[in-house]
Amino acid sequence: MNLRAKAMSLFLLGLIRALTGAQARWQGCPPKAEQRIYFANHQSHADLVLMWAALPSELRSITRPIAAKDYWTKTPFKQWITTAVFNAIYVDRTKTTDQDPLEPLIDALESGDSIILFPEGTRGNQEEPQPFKSGLYNLAQKFPNVVLVPAWINNVQRVMPKGEVVPVPILCSVTFGAPLALEAGEDRGSFLARARQAVMALRDS
């Protein structure tokens, strides 16, 4: 990380803590430097930033969030911040037939990084998360040794609702639950439903 990115990351951390507290609640597992896939509910573009800020600094450097390519590469600044500061992996949300959208994720996992995934695919604005897309299942199948940690992000959509530019100070937290594993012979649908339940169960805990 170069000096500018370092300064930006310190500034962002300070700003996010002042606005939201960015509290991490490790309820089902301790923060541990093992290879993990964190998967969480998705209501705002700021989810990525909050998850990044909530992780302790040792884990932050080995964990790469997934960023939607169309939104996070729109301006040079957004592109710089996602690559240099968040070390994000871009995912193309527009369907192209010639490339597997999971490929960049698989590359990251193969090189030993942890990732942050939003399995809903798009931002929801309902109380409950939308059904999970199958990416999580495919990754769990391909990487059985990577620990799957569910997470619930609370309140972020109130900080910056869709269409607003100025964030408002409201306390947010990320709750990390007990790890989940793909069971032998478990099919796609029931695993994804179980994963979604695991995320939702953290809401009121």
Partner 1 sequence: MSSFLRNLTPSQQVGLLFVMVFGLLIAASIWALVISLRDDGENEIRSQDIRELSSLLNTSWVMCTVFWLAWASGETVATMLFAIVAFFALREFITLSPTRHGDHRSLVLAFFVVLPVQFWLVITKRFDLVTVFIPVYVFLAIPVVSALANDPQRFLERNAKLQWGIMVCVYGISHVPALLLLGFPNYSGKNAFLVFFLVFVVQTGMLVQHLANRKWPRQATAPQVSQSFNWTSWLIGLGVGGFVGGLMSGLTPFKPAQAVAMALIACIAGSLGHLVMKALKRDRGITNWGTEGKSVTGASGLLDRVDALCFAAPVFFHSVRWYFGL
Contact predicate 64/88, CB 8 Å? yes
Which residue in the block uniquely carries the two structure tokens 């109130």? 158
Contact range with partner 1 by CB under 8 A, out of 21-29, 58-66, 116-124, 137-145? 21-29
| Residue 155 contacts partner 1 per CB under 8 A | yes
Closer residue to partner 1, CB minimum distance, 114 or 175:
175
Q: How far is the CB of 12 from partner 1 (least distance, A)?
A: 18
Work out which of 23, 35, 83, 134 binds partner 1, going by CB under 8 A. Answer: 23
Closer residue to partner 1, CB minimum distance, 83 or 155:
155
| Residue 166 contacts partner 1 per CB under 8 A | yes
- Describe the strand order of the beta sheet including 89-91 as a list of residue ranges: 23-26, 173-176, 147-154, 36-40, 114-117, 63-68, 89-91
Work out which of 14, 56, 169, 189 binds partner 1, going by CB under 8 A. Answer: 169
Closer residue to partner 1, CB minimum distance, 25 or 188:
25
Say how far apart CA 196 and CA 39 lie, in whole Å: 9
Say how far apart CA 68 and CA 154 lie, in whole Å: 20
Q: In whole angstroms, what separates CA 72 from the centre of its chain? A: 14
Largest CA-CA distance found in the chain, in angstroms, rounded:
49
Work out which of 12, 13, 25, 134 binds partner 1, going by CB under 8 A. Answer: 25
| Residue 172 contacts partner 1 per CB under 8 A | yes
Element of type H or E holding 28: none
| Residue 170 contacts partner 1 per CB under 8 A | yes
| Residue 82 contacts partner 1 per CB under 8 A | no
Work out which of 12, 15, 21, 79 binds partner 1, going by CB under 8 A. Answer: 21
Instruction: Provide the 10 A C-beta neighbour count for residue 55.
Output: 22
Contact predicate 203/56, CB 8 Å? no
Which residues form the interface with partner 1 (CB under 8 A)?
19, 21, 23, 25, 154-155, 158, 161-162, 164, 166, 168-173, 175, 203-205
